[in-house]
Amino acid sequence: MNTSRIQKKAPPHIRTSRTAPIILLDVIISILPLYFMAYIYYGLRVIVLGAIGALTCFLLNLIASALSSQKVNIYNIAPIVTGLLIPLALPAAIDYSIVICACAFSILVVEMPFGGCGFNFFNPAAAGIAFAAFCWPTSVFTYTEPLVKLPVFGKIVASSYSPAYYLKLGAVPKLDLVDLLTGEFVGPMGTSCVFALIAGFIFLLVRKVINWRTVLSYFVAVIAMFALFPRIHSDSISSVLLELCSGSVIFGGIFMVSEPVTAPKRNIPKYIYGFLIGIFTVLFRYYGGFEQGVAFAVLILNIFSPLLDLYSEKVIYYSRRVRIARKPKSSE
Amino acid sequence: MQENRNLPNDAKTDTFFGSRINRASVLRISRRLTVSVGNLFFKNPILVGGIILSPVISAVTTFRSGVAISIAVIIICIPSIIISELSSKYAPFWVSAIIGALVSALMSVPAYKMISPLSPDIFDNIGIYFPIIMLSSFSSAFTHNRKRRIFIWSVTDVVCAVCGFAFFAILIGSIREILAYGTFNGKLLGIEFKMSGVAMPFFGFILVGFILAIVQKIKNSTVFFKNLIKRRKEVQ
């Protein structure tokens, strides 16, 4: 027996050209239009915010890897993705220290204690955003007007509220459809431009970075909830448009819900996972303390993600057994 | 007798500095003492046992609340465990457990009176869970151990565990107060950067988890603690 073809190396044995760095690079490319639009609306400060976030995450990941006796991999760009995503859901006028703390939380508390990239239970970006929202709600939910260039250094006083805040109060914000789609209104710096978000989404979908099942079920749930239970005195279409475009709903659906590490691995749980996140997002927006809810919904459903996989396997196993038992035996 | 078997032969016969106490008994006492002192960290109710975790996480957000809950634990647990240990010599185990529970319920009244002026909001934070947690977890942790039949060591274990609890409760309370409010014991420290989320229960879990990790790291890496664990295993 020829045993020379048996591989003695550790897995993975099957390798393709689509490695983790390439997938992460695709995510970074899909984020770039959001930074570009944010730069047009708020100036150079957003680029500095993104750079600080990415650098903080990258350096802390290296330090934590060294301290925890893990392999220090300087080519691991997963922390950079986290560091770029966190500032996008925050206002452009946010203090740099808040971004650093949110990034530090996401890496040191959420990602590294569980084994680093690929082993985390919770979405690091969602956790960082949720941490910032809990610790500095005033800074996180007050914004500056778009098309007003912000200084790179110095303290900026933000005093405007996003349309999501007015929706929470029960008021109907007066926004043009074009403004809604281009993101030219008060809000988080990188989550309001729908065109840029859709461009990133299509790119990720074409490159097969994200799974369409999770995203589809998420948007179905969100749209259904906004249409069936509108909280403003308006028609369903207006309610859906305003609710979808006013906060981080689309951004969360594309970049947080579909994250492959924390999402379920099987197809049917993916539908359930996305659907439940959609429902929880709307519930958080309607009844939660903050105007945004997608980050909290993602974190809650991250806990149930392995359970969804487990129970789906059991359901599939028993359904197969039932099918086999019902199958008539062929007579000889 | 089992402890004597593990001692060196010369230790069983030698006297201790000419006194009537022989070296074997001194060694036995010192070994048992290290086991009790180990309760401060390695058998600590918060860190290792995970019991009485919920009041620490939900209510201990300041230095004062840490002190208050430590006093409450001292007042409730020490008498209840002493009495249940004493009663276990004369009554079946299930009777002594009930006696311990009753005493701890009784002692929660003076505990409430004592800590209310120190931290008025602590009972609002934990509410009904306070006496329940005291009864169910802390006292049962000691009364359930059937190996500890020597009264003095049971008391020493409880005192050490309570001291360990107090140490970590106050430490956690102080850290959370400094980070969340920028104060220590109600006095301003001049820190402008505050994280209000630190006072929330989720951060309590994270903080306890990190302290536990640090203690485990120290436990695994330090030679002294390794010897301490070795002695604990020998005695038990």
Residue B178: which of B158, B161, B159, B198 has the closest Cα? B198
Cα-based angle A72, A80, A9 (whole degrees, multiple of 5):
40
Q: Where are the domains of chain B?
A: 40-235
CA A265: distance to chain centroid? Answer: 17
Question: Are the beta carbons of A196 and A210 closer than 8 angstroms?
Answer: no
* pLDDT value at residue B126: 66
Q: Can you read off the two tokens belonging to residue A105?
A: 């939380």
Residue A37, both tokens = 């639009």
Which chain A residue is nearest to residue B217, measuring alpha carbons? A68
Q: Which of A96-105, A216-225, A239-248 has the lowest mean pLDDT?
A: A239-248
Q: How far is CA B147 from CA A192, A262, B142, B150, in A?
A: 65, 45, 10, 9
Q: Tokens 């939900």 appear where?
A: B58
Q: What region, left, alpha or beta, does residue A72 occupy, with left being phi > 0 and alpha being psi -120 to 50 degrees?
A: beta
Report the residue of chain B nearest A101, measured CA to CA: B195
CB contact set of B10 (below 8 Å; sequence gap of 6+): B23
The CA distance from A178 to A173, in Å, is 14
Locate B215 and state its tokens.
Answer: 């203690």
List CB contacts (< 8 A) between B193 and chain A: 97
| Chain A nearest C-alpha distance from B46 (Å) | 20
Backbone phi and psi for residue B82, each to the nearest 5 degrees, phi listed first: -60, -45
CB pairs under 8 A between A and B: 17
pLDDT of residue A331 exceeding 70, the answer is: no
* B162 or A92: which leads in pLDDT: A92
Write down the pLDDT at residue A237: 86
Question: Distance, in angstroms, between B3 CA and closest chain A CA?
Answer: 39
State the pLDDT confidence band at A283, using cuts at 50, 70 and 90.
very high
Of A109, A113, A135, the CB nearest to B195: A135
Average pLDDT over residues A309-322: 90
A interface with B, Cβ–Cβ below 8 Å? 97, 101, 109, 113, 131, 134-137
> Which residues are registered as beta bridge partners of A160?
A143
Residue A13 has pLDDT above 90, yes or no: no
B187 in helix, strand or coil?
Answer: strand
Express as a percent the part of chain A with pLDDT over 70.
96
Distance CA B151, CA A185 (A): 72
H/E segment holding residue A106: none
Q: How far is CA A157 from the centre of its chain?
A: 27
Q: What is the ipTM of this complex?
A: 0.80
Q: Which domains does chain A have, with CATH numbers?
A: 20-321 (1.10.3430)
* DSSP assignments along A309-326, one per residue: HHHHHHHHHHHHHHHHHH
Mean pLDDT value of segment A193-215: 93
Whether A135 sits inside 8 A of B213 (CB atoms) is no
Q: What is the mean pLDDT of residues B181-203?
A: 88
Whether A113 and B213 lie within 8 Å, measured CB to CB: yes
Q: Across chain B, what does the average pLDDT equal? A: 75
pLDDT confidence band for A86 (50 / 70 / 90)? very high
Binary contact (B195, A113; C-beta < 8 A) = no
Helices B151-181 and B23-37 pack at an angle, to 10 degrees, of 30
Angle (nearest 5°) at CA A279 between A301 and A200: 75
Structure token digits, residue A78? 């997963």
Residue to test with chain A: of B194, B205, B206, most A Cβ within 10 A: B206
Number of alpha carbons in the 13 Å side-chain half-sphere of residue A227? 7
Q: Of A101, A109, A134, which is closest to B200 when you measure between CB atoms?
A: A134
Instruction: List B22's β-bridge partners, or say none.
Output: B15
Q: Name the more confident of A84 and A12.
A: A84
